[in-house]
Amino acid sequence: MEVGRRFVLRSASATGAFAALLAAGLLRPAQALAATWNKVAFGAKNPADALKGIGATSTAESKEVQLDLPQIAENGAVVPIEVSSKVPGTTSIAVIIEKNPFPLVAQFEFMEGALPYVKLNAKVGESSAVRAVADAGGKFYSASKEVKVTIGGCGG
């Protein structure tokens, strides 16, 4: 729980969103101590808001962020996405599928010797750009790739 709280404090205070949430009474200290889920970022309906939600107001394209996914996905319900970051000091990786109803798919925090690497399967609703965003000390680096979906991942 200690780590969860630190994560919230760090990720939210970076944008001042934490103060705003506190002021709005949306985030009570008791909730901040529980397992956290970034409702604002995950509830965002467009990629720009999702990025803002995770504190990434500006991102720089970087070849150090490696994103691997199929060019064509026959089944949008299961699209394998592999991300790793070579940016020194990467502490978290987020995955955004730009055209999904809720673009933010996941965000992982790495600590205690975990390598900035994650592999996951995601649902992709329609052909879309997929963006990986790595956070290194408050600076955000990203890479994106298109995936073409022949059968959608939603409504199936």
Partner 1 sequence: MPGPMKIRATAEAGYTEIRVLMSHPMETGLRKGPDGKLVPAHFIQNITVKVGGKTVVEGQISQAISRNPVFAFRVKGGNKGDKVEISWVDNKGEHNQTETAVA
Closer by beta carbon to partner 1, 3 or else 19: 3
Distance of CA 108 to the CA centre of its chain: 7
Q: How far is the CB of 76 from partner 1 (least distance, A)?
A: 10
Q: Are strands 79-85 and 90-97 parallel, antiparallel or unpaired?
A: unpaired
Q: How far is the CB of 155 from partner 1 (least distance, A)?
A: 6
Closer by beta carbon to partner 1, 7 or else 52: 7
Between CA 154 and CA 86 the distance in angstroms is 33
Note the residues at the interface with partner 1 (CB under 8 A).
3-4, 7, 35-38, 42, 77-79, 82, 97, 100-102, 104-115, 117-124, 153-156
Closer by beta carbon to partner 1, 53 or else 141: 53
